Amino acid sequence: MSSTRKSRAAAYWKKNLLVVAGLLAVWFTVSYLLGIVFVEPLNASKLGGFPLGFWFAHQGSILVFIVLIFVYCIVMDRLDRAAIAAEQRAETQAAEPAANALHRSDASDDVRHS
C-alpha cells in the first residue's frame, strides 16, 4: 500500500513540475525573448500606439506575469483537490473488505462532502 501511495505522490509531483515548466516557458518568452532579444524586429510592428517590443518590455510582460500566477493558483487548486480526493478514495478502498455495504455508501458520501 505504501508503494502505491508513493507512486501517487510521485505522479502529483510530476504534474506539478510540468505545470511549473510550462508557465516558466511563457515567463521566459514574454520577458526575455519578446521584451529583450527580439525587441528590434518586433518594434517594426505596432500594437495600438505602441511599438510591439517596447510594449512587451513596459507593459505586456507585467500583465502576462499576473495572469501566469493566476493560472498557477487555479491549476494547483485543482491538482490538490484531485490528489486529495484520490488519496481518500484509496483509503476507503483499503478499508473496504472489513466494511459492509451501508458503511461503503457512508464513506462515498464523505468524499463528496469534503
Partner 1 sequence: MELKGWTYLFVGVTFALYLFIALYTRVKSTKGFYVAGQGVPAVFNGMATGADWMSAASFISMAGLISFMGYTGGMYLMGWTGGYVLLALLLAPYLRKYGKYTVPDFVGDRYYSNVARGVAIFCAIFISFTYVAGQMRGVGVVFSRFLEVDIDVGVILGMAIVFFYATLGGMKGITWTQVVQYCVLIMAFLIPAIAISLEMTGSPIPQVGFGGEVQSGPNAGRKLLEVIDSLHRDLGFAEYTAAFEGGKKSMVDVFAITLALMVGTAGLPHVIIRFYTVKTVRAARWSAFWALLFIGLLYTAAPAVAVFARVNMIETVHNADYKELPPWFSNWETAGLIVWVDKDGDGKVDYGPGAAFDGKPTFAETPDGEPARGALGQRLVTNTISSAKNELYVDRDIIVLANPEIANLPPWVVALVAAGALAAALSTAAGLLLVISSAVAHDLMKKMVRPEMTEKEELRWARGAAGCAVLVAGYLGINPPGFVAQVVAFAFGLAASSFFPLIVLGIFSTRTSKQAGIAGMLTGIVFTAGYIIYFKFISPELNVESNWLFGISPEGIGAIGMLLNFAVTMTVTRFTPPPPLEVQATVLRVREPSVETLEVAEH
The SS3 of residue 47 is: strand
CB atoms inside a 10 Å sphere around CB 32: 12
Query: Which residues between 44 and 73 bind partner 1 (CB under 8 A)?
Result: 47-51, 53-55, 57-59, 61-63, 65-66, 68-70, 72-73
Cα(65)–Cα(17) distance, integer angstroms: 18
Cα(35)–Cα(52) distance, integer angstroms: 9
Q: Kindly calculate the radius of gyration of the chain based on its CA atoms and give it in whole angstroms.
A: 23
In the complex, least distance from residue 85 CB atom to partner 1, rounded to whole angstroms: 8
90 binds partner 1 (CB under 8 A): no
Residues that bind partner 1 (CB under 8 A): 9, 12-13, 16, 20, 23-24, 27, 31-32, 35-37, 39-40, 43, 47-51, 53-55, 57-59, 61-63, 65-66, 68-70, 72-73, 76-77, 79-81, 83-85, 87, 114
